[in-house]
């Protein structure tokens, strides 16, 4: 049983030495447990956050020497649990390892999905994040302007497509020409800008002639700086993440814009609300999945994933994810 554990807490960008590949014997399920074989592992930005010491109120930090956490599509290879049979596919949290045990409480069976890894992307946690953040907090109305960065990523691609379905005008921001093209031509965004463009702020103003009503915050950094002056009165900002800062290492940061942020929130009566998707599972997730499956089957929402081959590639792939080197939802193919 191969597993990848946290060897040290990264300083800045994660390095390969912050991870260690270990081999152990395959565990045996006790009464009430199942043994899972990982087929697909999801890579997500929150993994970088959990490699740091994190304060209370968020998910717990990964301990040094413990396997990295992560959502998986796994196969039940042995069952001593009445509800699960050998051979079933499940959505699980097996983490960065070939095999894991579960008592079943965190498992969801996956049936009739043409591509099971989609349960880790648009039909799973990132799609659900987009749905809850955009519709509950963002509340876009027809004709309003919605801006989202990391626009072709796991969450952003879904935010933009759902906003379009709700009749909003969607402007994306993404890294590089290929992603910009994908957002407009494949995902159907009204416009998309390159975050590396030195004139991003000016181009965003041109792309949003009626200002911004909803800014779905995925990144922070220079994108937030460009958005602030364009926010309309009563704008909404679901704060989903701020990936531009996850690798900050305590070095002197960009200019201090706290006063500008607070002045904008106050003067424009902006509603900014953070959310953590783990709070919203329960019955809500099933309703989301039904709706999203219908949209996907009807061709109204497109799912796009980037695949990496082999568990041992996960550390390099996570570092690449944080740099924006993949287009779409990033998954690791661990086994067939
Ligand atoms: P993505 O698939 O979008 O991958 C991350 C993307 O972030 C990169 O591809 C890159 O896109 C962009 N990025 C990286 N560095 C920067 C930077 N310096 N400035 C601007 N953009 C950058 O990841 P996800 O869709 O999985 O996650 C998106 C956000 O949602 C993250 O902040 C994540 O933490 C958050 N999240 C929050 C959840 C919650 O419960 N609140 C749940 C799930 C996700 P590009 O190259 O196109 O700019």
Q: Are 38 and 335 in contact (CB under 8 A)?
A: yes
The pLDDT tens digits of the residues spanning 308-335 come to: 999 999 999 999 999 999 999 999 999 9
pLDDT value for 252: 67
Same domain, 148 and 19: no
Q: How many domains does the chain have?
A: 2
Q: What pairing do the DSSP bridges indicate for beta strands 99-102 and 34-42?
A: antiparallel
**Ligand 1 center to residue 172 CA distance, Å?**
13
Task: For residues 220 and 213, give the distance between their C-alpha atoms in angstroms, rounded to a whole number.
Answer: 17
Among protein residues, the one with the nearest Cα to ligand 1's atom 32 is: 241
Provide CB contacts within 8 A for 33, sequence distance 6+. 80, 81, 101, 102, 103, 104
Domain that holds residue 145: 125-277
Residues 200 and 80 in one domain: no
Task: Find the CATH number of the domain harbouring 225.
Answer: 3.40.50.720
Distance from the alpha carbon of residue 130 to the mean position of ligand 1, in angstroms: 12
Give domain status of residue 284, yes or no.
no
Question: Over the stretch 11-27, which tens digit does the pLDDT of each residue have?
Answer: 999 999 999 999 999 99
Let me know whether 143 and 109 are in one domain: no
Q: Is residue 44 part of a domain?
A: yes
> The CATH number of the domain where 112 resides is what?
3.90.180.10
- Which of 241, 261, 277 terminates a domain? The answer is 277
Cα–Cα distances in angstroms (integers) from residue 257 to residues 215, 229, 260, in the given order: 17, 12, 5
My answer on whether 160 and 116 are in the same domain is no
Is 144 among the domain residues?
yes
Contact between 197 and 223 under an 8 Å Cβ cutoff? The reply is no
Testing ligand 1's pocket by substitution, the residue of 42, 58, 152, 155 carrying the most ligand atoms inside 8 A of its CB is 155
What percentage of the chain exceeds 90 in pLDDT?
Answer: 93
Residue at 292 is within a domain: no
Ligand 1 geometric centre to CA of 150 (Å): 5
What is the H or E stretch that residue 38 is in? Answer: strand 34-42
Do the domain assignments include residue 269?
yes
The Cα–Cα gap between 336 and 315 comes to: 20
pLDDT tens per residue, range 91-129: 999 999 999 999 999 999 998 888 999 999 999 999 999
ipTM of the prediction? 0.99
CB neighbour list of residue 142: distance below 8 Å, 6 or more residues apart:
166, 167, 168
């Amino acid at each position: 049983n191969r597993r990848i554990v946290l060897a040290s807490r990264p300083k800045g960008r994660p390095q390969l030495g912050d991870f260690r590949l270990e081999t152990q014997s395959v565990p045996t399920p006790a009464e009430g447990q199942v043994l899972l074989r990982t087929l697909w592992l999801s890579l997500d930005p929150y993994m970088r956050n959990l490699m740091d010491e994190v304060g209370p109120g968020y998910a717990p930090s990964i301990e040094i020497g413990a396997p990295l956490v992560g959502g998986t599509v796994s196969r039940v290879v042995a069952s001593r649990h009445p509800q699960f049979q050998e051979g079933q596919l499940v959505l699980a949290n097996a983490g960065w390892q070939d095999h894991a045990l579960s008592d079943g409480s965190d498992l969801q069976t996956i049936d009739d999905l043409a591509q099971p890894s989609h349960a880790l992307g648009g039909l799973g946690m990132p799609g659900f994040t987009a749905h809850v953040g955009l519709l509950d907090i963002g509340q876009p109305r027809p004709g309003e302007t919605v801006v989202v960065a990391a626009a072709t990523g796991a969450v952003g691609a879904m935010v933009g497509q759902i906003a379009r379905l709700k009749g909003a005008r969607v402007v994306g921001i993404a890294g590089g020409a290929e992603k910009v093209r994908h957002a407009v031509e494949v995902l159907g965004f009204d416009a998309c800008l390159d975050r590396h463009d030195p004139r991003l702020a000016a181009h965003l103003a041109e792309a949003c002639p009626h200002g911004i009503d909803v800014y779905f915050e995925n990144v922070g950094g220079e994108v937030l700086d460009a958005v602030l002056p364009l926010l309309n009165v009563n704008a909404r900002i679901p704060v989903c993440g701020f990936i531009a800062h996850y690798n900050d290492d305590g070095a002197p940061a960009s200019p201090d814009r706290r006063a500008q942020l607070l002045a904008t929130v106050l003067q424009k009566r902006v509603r900014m609300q953070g959310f953590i998707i783990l709070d919203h599972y329960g019955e809500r997730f099933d309703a989301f999945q039904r709706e999203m499956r219908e949209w996907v089957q009807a061709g109204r929402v497109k799912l796009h994933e980037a695949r990496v081959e082999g568990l041992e590639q996960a550390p390099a792939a996570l570092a690449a994810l944080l740099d924006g080197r993949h287009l779409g939802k990033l998954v690791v193919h661990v086994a067939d």
